[in-house]
Amino acid sequence: MNIGIIGAGSMGSGIAQVAATAGEEVMVFDTNAASLDKASASLTKIMNRLVEKERVTRKEADDILGRITFVDSLDYLENSELVIEAIIENLEVKQSVFSQLEELVSDICIIASNTSSLSIASISSACKNPERVIGIHFFNPAPLMKLVEIIPSISTDQEVTDKAKATIDSWKKVTALVKDTPGFIVNRVARPFYGEALRIYEEGIADFATIDWAMKEIGGFRMGPFELMDYIGNDVNYTVTETVFTAFYFDPRYKPSFTQKRFSEAGRLGRKTGRGFYNYGEGTTNPEPNKDMDLGKKIFERIQAMLINEAVDAVFWQVASAQDIDLAMRFGTNYPKGLLAWCDEIGANKPLTILENLYQTYGEDRYRPSSLLRKMAKENASFF
């Protein structure tokens, strides 16, 4: 299959690697020559490393690289059967690229966006045939993260959705079908992992190290929320939260945190600046957690209840199937368990009781339990 990629940044080059590894012929276009050079050099380096580690043979690596062509004009993408756009996150720029592309490619070409925060409906509205436009959302780094969210808009043809899903499945990815709603699955359902951890810190219940310890030690998460925010970057993570909050008409469940905003404003972005919630400088020591099991359990169960409620609410609003929501959280964030399977395991009544207590204590809409969680608890029902 001929695949076109627009944008040779971190996502575009990662997606090109995935597609070429799956045997597709790939053309990567970028308006910036330096980005093309950088992507080409970085892909060569990555493939050399994979040969050294004996993950691929020299011949396979050369074949993969041979299937990727970097081009400096959109016109080269004319014969593409699927184009995935991964350029700057700006609606006007994306719309302009989509309307140019539509004139260039054949009628059967599927045009996809890798957007994280814009609606597929808004991007496709620039096209004469929005029926062939879809969201194909990879996670960073695309070659390592197994999940891809497939997002048809209200205009997308079923045939286009089926073909897009089958193609990405054939690239050995795990696909989750999701409605064109803010944050899709992962960036919506994962919000409480950060937001509730920040809130617990802001209330003075525990410090960063203790909250991270509780989530790892008791919850089984690979990274604590503060370690993960430092890894993602406080600027990036804050912007995702603010975008989701705004897109949900300021639902208090997604309210951003002043703590994270200040860390971001102060340039304490995390690993990439050497300092975030933790200090990454050489010879520095970070605070030790308070390993009080009762406190740890309280922290973990509060964040877990908020996460489960978010996942259950996404089922309630038919954002995706229960199965796809659990797949998305396991493969898009590496959570130890699917949140709905976790709900089944502990029983819906447990997170419901925690949320009702929080709601009683604070009187805030943020802690309202999903009506589906109430129903599940009342009927003692399970998702799977």
Ligand X SMILES: NC(=O)c1ccc[n+]([C@@H]2O[C@H](COP(=O)([O-])OP(=O)(O)OC[C@H]3O[C@@H](n4cnc5c(N)ncnc54)[C@H](O)[C@@H]3O)[C@@H](O)[C@H]2O)c1
Residues with catalytic function? 116, 137, 149, 187
Please identify, using beta-carbon distances, which residue of 145 and 339 lies nearer to ligand X: 145
Closest distance to ligand X from the beta carbon of 145 (Å): 9
Please identify, using beta-carbon distances, which residue of 165 and 302 lies nearer to ligand X: 165
Please identify, using beta-carbon distances, which residue of 218 and 223 lies nearer to ligand X: 223
Residues 6+ apart with CB under 8 A from 76: 27, 29, 69
* Residue 140 interacts with ligand X (CB under 6 A): yes or no: yes
* Residue 9 interacts with ligand X (CB under 6 A): yes or no: yes
Please identify, using beta-carbon distances, which residue of 116 and 304 lies nearer to ligand X: 116
Closest distance to ligand X from the beta carbon of 66 (Å): 22
Q: How many residues bind ligand X (CB under 6 A)?
A: 24
Closest distance to ligand X from the beta carbon of 176 (Å): 14
Contact mark string toward ligand X, 58..97, x via CB under 6 A:
----------------------------xxxx---x---x
* Residue 7 interacts with ligand X (CB under 6 A): yes or no: yes
Closest distance to ligand X from the beta carbon of 100 (Å): 9
Residues 11-40 close enough to bind ligand X by CB under 6 A: 11-12, 29-32, 35
Residues near ligand X (CB under 6 A) are: 6-12, 29-32, 35, 86-89, 93, 97, 114-116, 138-140
